[in-house]
Amino acid sequence: MAEIEAAMLELTAAQANSALRWSYEQEKLKRFPAFRFVRVGTNITGAVGALDTQVGNTYGVRVELQNFPFARPSVFPRDWTPHPDVPHRFNDGSICVMRSDQWRTHFTVALVIAKVAIWLGKYELWKRNGHIWPGLGQRH
């Protein structure tokens, strides 16, 4: 897969505030063909799919969109359980790809999925290198 820049996965202010927001979101989500939006009735409530890592593992992911786009989505493992000592998880078991104060309404579900891919790469390194998280960490 070609490298994806974060800006490619963000919306302009006009797109973020448009009645067509979900059309723009769907277009961005095409960068991750293994993902699809989940609906309850006519409401989009989440996204589910899987990501492959560089070492050949596949991880299922569920993105919950409560109060989206005004609140950061929650990301949960789907059909796998992270190591109990892994850092960068919230108390509810969700994966920390960013803090709530870092969330912006022009960010997309696709951007969150890209950040999950980065988290998974670091997770696999963490498992192999004596449980030292690679890169800079942030407090939750």
* Structural domain spans, the chain: 10-128
Domain 10-128 carries which CATH code?
3.10.110.10
Please state the three-class secondary structure of the chain as a single string.
Answer: CCCCCHHHHCCCHHHHCCCCHHHHHHHHHCCCCCCEEEEECCEEEEEEEEEECCCCCEEEEEEECCCCCCCCCEEEEECCCCCCCCCCECCCCCECCCCHHHCCCCCCHHHHHHHHHHHHHHHHHHHHCCCCCCCCCCCC
pLDDT tens, the chain, 140 aa long: 456 788 899 999 999 999 999 999 999 999 999 999 999 999 999 999 999 999 999 999 999 999 999 999 999 999 999 999 999 999 999 999 999 999 999 999 999 999 999 999 999 999 999 999 998 777 76
